[in-house]
Amino acid sequence: MHDAPEEPRRFREKPVSFVRRSGRMSDAQERAWSELAPRFVIAVARDAAATSILPESHIDPAQTWGRPAPLVAEIGSGQGHAIVHAASTRTDTDFLAIEVFKAGLARTMLDGERAGVTNLRLVEANAPEVLEHLLPEASLDELWVFFPDPWHKAKHNKRRLVAPEFPPLAARALKDGGMLRLATDWEDYARQMREVLDDAPQFERAFPGEWAERFEGRVVTAFERKGAAKGREIRDLTYRRAPRP
């Protein structure tokens, strides 16, 4: 009798909100990783998966950025347009770009270098693990989630980032009174986000009416223009972290 084949090793118990694509990077992007990553990218201890964070391996923000300052993190920073603009215009605040796509992180570093920013750091990692393990509790003043992957097919909805498991992780990382800002161009995802966060005891609405006003710090990106060109309405949401018991 043959032994049963071993089950494939499972790196995570839950599906992640991304599919990690690989592709050839440009010479400039390769240079970013070789020359700029030591300045911009936070080196983290990994668990089994390439984009994981080893539990209990949190950073000290004041040491990482070299000063005590308000801290803002963006989940899914993409090419870095929003966060580089913010870092260059809000020099009294520190910023963390959370992304899994190396080419996007490389572009962010290149633009950050051109803008001369010193208050921006990047981490190549799965966002929920950053919120749970890398960031100390109550370390964020703001958390941004702009245009996360909508996973618009019903069978893939389970991959969406903003689901019932998300608010406790976001609330852990945010200070009391800290702001959670979200935007999407998919109406059904916007409604799911609102339902999930309205039901979360850690958060309270920071907007009247059906949707929040556009956040001034959210610059218009090529991604947003593409959605608008297809007739999709942009919807914003803003929530405040409720005081801890």
The annotation status of 94 as a binding-site residue, yes or no, is: no
Please determine, for residue 11, whether its predicted confidence score (pLDDT) is greater than 50: no
pLDDT in tens, 60-102: 999 999 999 999 999 999 999 999 999 999 999 999 999 999 9
- Identify the CATH number of the domain in which residue 142 sits: 3.40.50.150
Please, are residues 176 and 241 in contact by the beta-carbon 8 Å criterion?
Answer: yes
Q: Which domain holds residue 165?
A: 40-241
Asked, for residue 3, whether it belongs to a domain, the answer is: no
Q: Is the pTM of this model over 0.85?
A: yes
The annotation status of 221 as a binding-site residue, yes or no, is: yes
The yes-or-no answer on residue 198 being catalytic is no
Per the prediction, the chain carries an average pLDDT of 88
The annotation status of 74 as a binding-site residue, yes or no, is: yes
Strands 235-241 and 174-184: antiparallel
Asked, for residue 95, whether it belongs to a domain, the answer is: yes
Catalytic pick among 94, 141, 149, 236: 149
Asked, for residue 2, whether it belongs to a domain, the answer is: no
Please determine, for residue 155, whether its predicted confidence score (pLDDT) is greater than 60: no
Could you tell me which of 84, 120, 96 has the C-alpha nearest to residue 217?
A: 84
pLDDT > 90: percent of the chain = 72
Asked, for residue 31, whether it belongs to a domain, the answer is: no
Asked, for residue 9, whether it belongs to a domain, the answer is: no
Please, are residues 142 and 181 in contact by the beta-carbon 8 Å criterion?
Answer: yes
- Provide the number of structural domains found in the chain: 1
